């Protein structure tokens, strides 16, 4: 997993609408990358649903939330609609998991992103990173707020 203080690797990925999104687009603003294993999986559904509930509070702190998984833009769109969320979901689809790997958040044996949170500062450096003990559980939003407050 990438560590605090390291420069955040830049990337360009397509979102749920097929639009290209680059990390560089957010320079000058903090970004929270939420790497997660799969659209529609039970734990990921719970995680994205819960984070959506607190997204306004996170954004009030000047932070943009971006979800990242190896799913395609089409899957992301359907997942977003199913959950009724508006969090931007980025497709780390081809080459599969390349961005997740760059952030040290890829599980080769499972072919998926790990459940990792990465907070990137306005200067483009990693401020904080957190990986769930297992992909089967997700960090509560309190973990995010604690990181934002520190």
- The 30-59 site mask, x for binding another protein (CB under 8 A), equals ---------------xxxxxx-xxx-----
Residues 99-138 that bind another protein (CB under 8 A): 137-138
Cα–Cα distance for residue pair 12/33, rounded to 1 Å: 13
Minimum CB distance to another protein smaller for 54 or for 98:
54
Cα–Cα distance for residue pair 150/137, rounded to 1 Å: 23
Q: Decide if 44 is catalytic.
A: yes
**Preceding omega of 95 cis (within 30 degrees of 0):** yes
Decide if residue 8 touches another protein (CB under 8 A): no
Minimum CB distance to another protein smaller for 87 or for 97:
87
Note the helical H segments in 11-132. Answer: 42-60, 73-83, 98-102
């Amino acid at each position: 997993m990438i560590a605090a203080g390291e420069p955040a690797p830049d990337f360009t990925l397509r979102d749920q609408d097929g639009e290209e999104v680059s990390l560089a687009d957010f320079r000058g603003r903090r970004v929270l990358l939420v790497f997660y294993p799969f659209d529609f999986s039970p734990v990921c559904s719970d995680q994205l649903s819960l984070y959506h509930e607190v997204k306004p509070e996170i954004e009030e702190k000047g932070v943009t939330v971006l979800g990242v998984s190896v799913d395609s833009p089409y899957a992301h769109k359907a997942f977003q609609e199913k959950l009724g969320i508006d969090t931007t979901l980025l497709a780390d689809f081809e080459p599969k998991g390349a961005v997740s790997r760059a952030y040290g958040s890829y599980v080769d044996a499972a072919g998926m992103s790990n459940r990792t949170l990465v907070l990137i500062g306005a200067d483009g450096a990693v401020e904080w990173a957190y990986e769930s003990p297992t992909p089967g559980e997700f960090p509560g939003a309190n973990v995010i707020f604690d990181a934002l407050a520190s």
